[in-house]
Structure 1
């Protein structure tokens, strides 16, 4: 019995360390998936290897910033609802806020190295998403919850199409079709990532889009429909990008 529990105890000790808690707070699955998708898009568009790597680093740090900021904003609510979160399991707000500040300071020059316009587009997308994480009655908790997601995702094609290497790098404007499709994809991701918190959000009096849809369809049906929606929009986006390129030129 003792031998069987030793690995479990070791894993618990590792999981309770500050690096492990910070990793959990970064929402690693969403961060890695978003990074892989945008990195693949940059690679398929014919960008050189160093530019593809730069895109990956930029996106990953931006996603970590958003994950940490989300958990920092939600710390009180996560404690109240006993959610399985790093801030509930021992990650201190001071450590989280310090790490978040360091990540933001690192993100700015790295993003700008993609080019001033590309960097600005990505930084704006992060700022908009961060504003969407705030517990604002009309936006995150209310009928406009989808808007920050649409704007943030809608800026991704611009980040890629304007991108290059170095602050002076310039590209071309993305196609309107890709921008709209990316925005629609963001709305779907918003619904998908909200599904596991619907009960707690309903108890807190939220009236945002995923909760309204779930009341009409049921959570299971909404999950199925959202996955189908994301698959359809993603497929159309990939086809359009392949046919026209990021900028259509």
Structure 2
């Protein structure tokens, strides 16, 4: 009985962590660290710091949203489904946040503080900003700071190129808008009035792919010199995925496919950032 209960709790915690985005961001941060020349030790530390931060954000989201999720009977949420309790996700979020502080600062004081600002920004979305017109801002800040954290943690006196930070910030905003589309009505019913809710379904369905396409443009055209063939191909694939996300959002209002497609855009763009390698890091 205890083993079954423990298994159920672990499954609930895994689902409450928002596993898809958490794994994607963590893996991409690790590859990005390799791309800017970090050794195995630094790469492992950066990856662990990002993972703990992402886990804390995911768990805090389900902890803080538990009342709203129950009000609209979100059966897809582990807390509502009874797989894990609010107290358990609360404790998990705080433990992950504590680990994030230690792991982030272990990469270096400045790099660690940058990452902690990014994580705190994401928490601010869960705690308050998601219900305001500034709901997009934490995504822009948190994703925009990720390349800076990875480059600062790498060997040498370097900083992330502004174009790389702008690209990841745009990817974050696009993913935010796409992620809200299936839940617009449920969110409104519980008082959540972020930017996508204020724009309405049509406006948000147009904004999400537009921002993602802008991000693709920055990734392809941002590095010095003419874009490579790989960059053009990756950019074309990303644009097609972004446009598809917009079309699906209009035609299938409850589908989560637009968010999955936006994550695919982010994955392709991140791969292009990794391939850009040294161009992403500038001498400090």
TM-score (norm 2): 0.71
Per-residue CA deviations over 1:116-158 (Å, capped at 9, x if unaligned) read 1111111110001101111x3xx31121111111111111121
Distance in 2 between the 1:49 and 1:105 partners?
23
Distance in 2 between the 1:119 and 1:203 partners?
38
The answer to whether the 8 A contact 2:152-2:158 is kept is: yes
Structure 2 spans left out of the alignment, 5+ residues: 223-268
The alpha carbon displacement at 1:247 in A equals: 2.6
Distance in 2 between the 1:30 and 1:14 partners?
26
Summarize the Cα distance change of 1:243–1:94 in structure 2 as closer, same or farther, 3 Å threshold.
Answer: closer
Q: 111, 118, 125: which is aligned to 1:125?
A: 118
- Higher RCO (CA-CA < 8 Å; seq separation 6+): 2
Within a 5 Å distance, the mapping from 1:197-208 to structure 2 comes to 197-208=183-194
Distance in 2 between the 1:34 and 1:41 partners?
10
Summarize the Cα distance change of 1:244–1:49 in structure 2 as closer, same or farther, 3 Å threshold.
Answer: closer
Partner of 2:26: 35
Distance in 2 between the 1:22 and 1:235 partners?
37
SS of structure 1 residue aligned to 2:22: helix
The answer to whether the 8 A contact 1:142-1:207 is kept is: yes
62-71 vs 88-97, which moves further: 88-97
Between Structure 1 and Structure 2, which shows a larger proportion of helix residues?
2
Structure 1 spans left out of the alignment, 5+ residues: 1-12
Within a 5 Å distance, the mapping from 1:65-214 to structure 2 comes to 65-83=56-74, 84-90=76-82, 91-134=84-127, 136=128, 139-164=129-154, 171-214=157-200
The answer to whether the 8 A contact 1:191-1:210 is kept is: yes
TM-score (norm 1): 0.81
The alpha carbon displacement at 1:192 in A equals: 2.0
Per-residue CA deviations over 1:184-238 (Å, capped at 9, x if unaligned) read 221112112222211211333443222344433475x666656655555555566
Distance in 1 between the 2:220 and 2:188 partners?
32
